[in-house]
């Protein structure tokens, strides 16, 4: 996809973090924006940052609800016609020792992180393929937000890891499936590392009635993620810029921290050797010991 001006984009999780950065970048590109988020005030705040002449449709949507995402697709087409770029981006964080995560923890994280992407694919990809069949000039692209946690498995992040590994698998399969039927609709998977986005506080949007007292391990995990995320030197705007560049160039894997791929290589080598998983914190002196102390109280 070369010239994005005048084309339409759908962005979920647009109220903060990467979603807001994608929205600002898309507006700067002259695109027509369809923005969705579960948090109305955050969505309003994103819209307030857009240039005054931006064509935008904003909807409060729970991406875990398939019917709601289908409704978003219907509204997007009614407002701006064919959609050219889709960011299945909404995501939440969940941590702690695996056996301490409740069924509600799993349902919430998988509902947003995985089912949100599934619903986005089911709602938009068939339409994109139909537009490509009807118009030889049409080009479409889907970007699914995963994480470096979709390529690695750090401890105290099991629910999140599982959801993001599933998004990587889903995206790779989507890439292969699209290649069987079209050369004008493509997909990418975004795997950011620690970037200041506010995901450490995503429990603010947890469904009513699902809140529960955090265990010690969940508190330790939240503090670990918050510290790592807030100390990140790569910004959401930086990630948005490299993501739009990747879309233009048709690249599938998008990573914010290429140096972190060394750990991915080590994981692959351990797997090929049928060895136990490498310690993903091996390069961070003293971290494992401090985590053990924190868990022990």
Going along the chain from its start, the domains and CATH numbers come out as 8-260 (3.40.50.720)
Q: Give how far Cα 281 sits from Cα of 14, 37, 39, 151, 233, Å.
A: 31, 33, 34, 14, 19
Catalytic: which of 160, 193, 194, 253? 160
- Give the contacts of 162 (CB within 8 A, at least 6 positions apart): 110
Structure tokens at 235: 């910004």
d(CA 31, CA 127): 19
The separation between CA 37 and the C-alpha centre of its own chain, rounded to angstroms, equals 13
Task: Encode the chain (297 residues) as per-residue pLDDT tens digits.
Answer: 788 999 999 999 999 999 999 999 999 999 999 999 999 999 999 999 999 999 999 999 999 999 999 999 999 999 999 999 999 999 999 999 999 999 999 999 999 999 999 999 999 999 999 999 999 999 999 999 999 999 999 999 999 999 999 999 999 999 999 999 999 999 999 999 988 777 656 666 677 666 667 899 999 888 888 887 777 789 999 999 999 999 999 999 999 999 999 999 999 999 999 999 988 777 777 888 889 999 998
Catalytic site residue 253?
no
- The predicted model scores a pTM of 0.94
Using CB atoms within 10 A of its CB, is residue 212 exposed (0-12), middle (13-18) or buried (19+)? exposed
């Amino acid at each position: 996809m070369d010239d994005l001006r005048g084309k339409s984009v759908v962005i979920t999780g647009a109220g903060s973090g990467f979603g807001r950065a994608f929205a600002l970048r898309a507006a700067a590109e002259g695109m027509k924006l369809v923005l969705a988020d579960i948090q109305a005030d955050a969505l309003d705040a994103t819209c307030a940052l857009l240039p005054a002449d931006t064509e935008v449709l904003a909807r409060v949507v729970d991406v875990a609800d398939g019917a709601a995402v289908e409704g978003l697709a219907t509204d997007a087409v009614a407002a701006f016609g064919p959609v050219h770029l889709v960011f299945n981006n909404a995501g939440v964080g969940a941590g702690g020792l695996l056996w301490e995560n409740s069924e509600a923890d799993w349902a919430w994280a998988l509902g947003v992180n995985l089912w949100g992407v599934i619903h986005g694919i089911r709602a938009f990809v068939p339409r994109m393929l139909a537009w490509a069949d009807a118009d030889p000039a049409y080009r479409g692209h889907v970007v699914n937000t995963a994480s470096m946690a979709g390529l690695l498995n750090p401890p105290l992040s099991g629910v999140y890891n599982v959801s993001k590994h599933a998004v990587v698998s889903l995206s790779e399969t989507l890439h292969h499936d699209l290649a069987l039927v079209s050369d004008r609709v493509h997909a990418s998977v975004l795997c950011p590392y620690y970037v200041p986005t506010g995901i450490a506080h995503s429990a603010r949007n947890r469904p009513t009635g699902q809140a529960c007292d955090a265990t010690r391990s969940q508190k330790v995990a939240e503090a670990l993620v918050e510290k790592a995320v807030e100390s990140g030197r790569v910004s959401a705007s930086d990630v948005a810029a490299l993501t739009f560049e990747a879309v233009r160039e048709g690249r599938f894997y998008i990573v914010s921290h290429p140096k972190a791929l060394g750990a991915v290589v080590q994981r692959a080598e351990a797997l090929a050797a049928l060895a136990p998983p490498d310690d993903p914190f091996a390069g961070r002196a003293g971290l494992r010991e401090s985590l053990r102390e924190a868990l022990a109280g």
